[in-house]
Amino acid sequence: MFKTRYTIFVCLGLMAAILIVYSGAINFDFIIFDDTQYVTGNHHVQSGLTKENLAWSFSFQDKGNTYWHPLTWISHMLDVELYGMNPGRHHLSNVFFHMAGVLLLFLTLYRMTGAIWPSAVVAALFGLHPLNVESVAWISERKNVLSTFFWMLTLLAYGYYHERPGMLRYLTVLFVFALGLLAKPMLVTLPFVLLLLDYWPLGQNNRQAPNGISERTLYHLIIEKIPLFLLSGLAVYLASSSLSGAGNYASLESIPMTLRIGNASVSYIKYIGKMIWPAHLAIFYSYPDSVPIWQITGALIFLVSVSIFVLFLLKQHAYLAVGWFWFIGTLIPVSGLVQAGLWPAMADRWAYVPLIGLFIMIAWAGKEIVNRWQPKRITLVFAALAFLMTLLTVARIQVGHWANSVTIFEHAIAATGGNWVAHNNLGKTLTDLGNDTEAFHHYSDALRHNPNSAHAHVNFGSALLGQGKIDEAVDHFNLALKLDPNFVEAYNNLGLAHMRRGHIEDAVYLFRIALQKKPYHANANQNLKLAILIQEKINRAVRRMRQSLNIDLEESGLDLKIVALSERKRDLIETVNNFQKALSRQPGFIRIEENNISAVSTVMKEYESLLPLFSKITKIQPTTADAYYHIACIFARKGSMQKAMNWLSMAQAIDAKRWDFYKTDPDLIKIKPNNLTDTQ
């Protein structure tokens, strides 16, 4: 039974502290790392809650390298429906779920143990610890705070079920647990945690088993967890299926199991260290190439020793074993024994729920110390409050680093001494802000830390393309595809580079490959439509000009055919100019030479080959001014400027009214002689 007055006091205090820490998030922006995939670049999320998008949420379609978590997608869509693309409001949704999870954790522990102050301490540590800032301040980590909200709700529902077992209460536990799995499969370890709680504190409150769970009771408790374990197994299967076939899983050849076990063992110790001293926190910690054997040995000895120690004290201090194995067990899904996507050595967000186990150990050990040191009770209480205030201050500072992409990645570089993910993403951010010079330095640093990063090569290439350095950009795109033949962005950006060169057929081919690998890639789809449109217009103009090149000296209306050719030539020029204008809207535009557009280059060579024919026409029909005009154009294209001027002068003398047409031809613009004057 809750003591209402104290409960309200603690809840209000927790809410106030969390608001103090995270209030600045209302002014924060989206970041380019994952937020693009989850919100800002996801057309399903941006179009809000629709039947089509709800169906997409539950499908395996067009999810990139994210696992199956439909409820998380729906929560992002709901944010868009409520707030549009206001990033501050999206941040506040994360804060709300974090706050709700903190309050539910407090209420659950208090109801299960009857100990208000240790429960409050656990909730405060969970709510205010700087290590948990990443899960709250990062919009893409909605899955973490949302699933943890359902984790806590499941614990509370289970507590009520334990007090008075019944089918309705049991189904409530199953239902809430299932919702949590729909938000993130990290909840697969929750049935194991419920078994721990069955021993302590729930088992300790069982009058029939004052020292723990009896053998008969244990049997029934395990049986009732079977449906929960089955749901966990289904969640693992769905998560694995959603990632399979996309090249997301790291092979044992690339990262051996010995390295995975070694890194996982050492990471456990690092999490404990960051809990004690939360410094140098970063959004990404690079996976090591190797782990010193002494670190692995020391970590394993420590983990085994603590496990033996807490088991030895199981009957006297059961909370130590429960807290410790909560920490060990809930970290297993993210230990890295199985890896998918961009896998770091460790991640602050992965410790979000596991740290609760350590907080339980600290809070109840603190309670025993206070009870034994009654004369210094006030001093200990004030020390605990001072410690929580320190955590609050450090957490608020850590939250400030998440204001935008520049601040979070600059901090990551400072905290880790530099890693390729931080340099790469900071470079991309600076490119978007127009600071290419500094961006290039960060791309170089990213490739220095990880020469095999396809992402860094693509981002570097995109920045170079933006400055018109097409050849260098193409080199980076090709390297990216060599490293990752399925990298859609590399195909798309290489297609853009070929567009810049005028190689439209190659560009269309590359855009189509990108869409084969990711059918709903918005940029590749848009680029393909533009390339096909340009290709069709140029090919149509080329076909019409080629038809006009079929000139028979014996046919009637020869002069009209020559004029028609002039018009077709002008249409082709305008079509190419429109292509140039379309590309000129992109940064780093450099005008494409005609010879680089193969269809245009081919037909213009055919045009030049008609020089003898045009010479004959000037003799057969000496008053056909456009024949002289075409001869001038061909000589100009061949670099014979004096001859071009002479023939153009004759064309003007024959038909001065055509001068406005002649003088704007790109072939002739550079040779306007002084003796050729505009004639009205």
pLDDT grade, residue 207 (50/70/90)? very low
How large is the average pLDDT for residues 278-303? 96
User: What was the pLDDT predicted at 252?
Assistant: 79
What's the half-sphere exposure (Cβ side, CA atoms, 13 Å) at 108?
25
Class of CATH domain 610-680: mainly alpha
User: Are both 406-513 and 610-680 of the same fold?
Assistant: yes
Neighbours of 660 (CB within 10 A): 11
- Mean pLDDT check: name the lowest of 378-387, 429-438, 442-451: 378-387
How large is the average pLDDT for residues 139-161? 97
Position 577 pLDDT exceeds 90: no
How large is the average pLDDT for residues 405-419? 94
What's the token pair of residue 69? 């978590």
Beta-carbon contacts of residue 446 (< 8 Å; ≥ 6 apart): 420, 421, 423, 424, 427, 453, 456, 459, 460
Q: Calculate what percentage of the chain has a pLDDT beyond 90.
A: 67
- Looking at residue 30, the DSSP 8-state letter turns out to be -
Integer Cα distance of 43 and 60 in angstroms: 16
**Is residue 412 within 8 Å of 282, Cβ to Cβ?**
yes
Q: Calculate what percentage of the chain has a pLDDT beyond 70.
A: 93
Buried b (16+ CB within 10 A) or exposed e, 590-612: eebebeebebbeebbeebeebee
Q: Compare 552 and 513 and report the one with higher pLDDT.
A: 513
What's the token pair of residue 448? 């220095």
What's the token pair of residue 129? 């610890």
How large is the average pLDDT for residues 318-332? 97
Position 183 pLDDT exceeds 80: yes
| Residue found under tokens 């990443």 | 134
Neighbours of 301 (CB within 10 A): 11
**Is residue 182 within 8 Å of 69, Cβ to Cβ?**
yes
pLDDT tens digits for range 588-606: 455 666 666 778 888 899 9
Position 673 pLDDT exceeds 50: no
Say which amino acid occupies 44: H
State the average pLDDT for the chain: 90
What's the half-sphere exposure (Cβ side, CA atoms, 13 Å) at 235?
26
φ, ψ dihedrals at 273, nearest 5°: -65, -40
User: What was the pLDDT predicted at 208?
Assistant: 45
Position 677 pLDDT exceeds 60: no
Beta-carbon contacts of residue 43 (< 8 Å; ≥ 6 apart): 520, 522
User: What was the pLDDT predicted at 667?
Assistant: 87
Integer Cα distance of 534 and 537 in angstroms: 5
304 CB burial (10 A radius; 0-12, 13-18, 19+): exposed
User: What was the pLDDT predicted at 382?
Assistant: 86
* Rg of the chain over all Cα atoms, to the nearest angstrom: 35
How large is the average pLDDT for residues 495-515? 89
Integer Cα distance of 575 and 666 in angstroms: 13
Integer Cα distance of 323 and 326 in angstroms: 5
Q: Compare 248 and 632 and report the one with higher pLDDT.
A: 632
User: What was the pLDDT predicted at 313?
Assistant: 96
Scanning 313-453, the segments in alpha helix (DSSP H) are: 318-330, 355-372, 377-400, 405-416, 420-432, 436-449
Beta-carbon contacts of residue 498 (< 8 Å; ≥ 6 apart): 504, 506, 507, 510
How large is the average pLDDT for residues 563-570? 90
**Is residue 232 within 8 Å of 188, Cβ to Cβ?**
yes
pLDDT grade, residue 210 (50/70/90)? very low
What's the token pair of residue 469? 């350095």
pLDDT tens digits for range 213-235: 554 477 889 999 999 999 999 99
Residues 323, 356, 34, CA angle at the centre, nearest 5°?
A: 140
Position 209 pLDDT exceeds 50: no
pLDDT grade, residue 674 (50/70/90)? very low
Beta-carbon contacts of residue 201 (< 8 Å; ≥ 6 apart): 112, 113, 318, 319
The string of DSSP letters for 579-622 reads HHHHHHTSTT--PPPGGGSHHHHHHHHHHHTTHHHHHHHHHHST
Q: Compare 671 and 60 and report the one with higher pLDDT.
A: 60
CATH code of domain 406-513: 1.25.40.10
How large is the average pLDDT for residues 478-491? 93
How large is the average pLDDT for residues 239-258? 76
Q: What are the boundaries of each domain within the chain?
A: 4-244+251-400, 406-513, 610-680
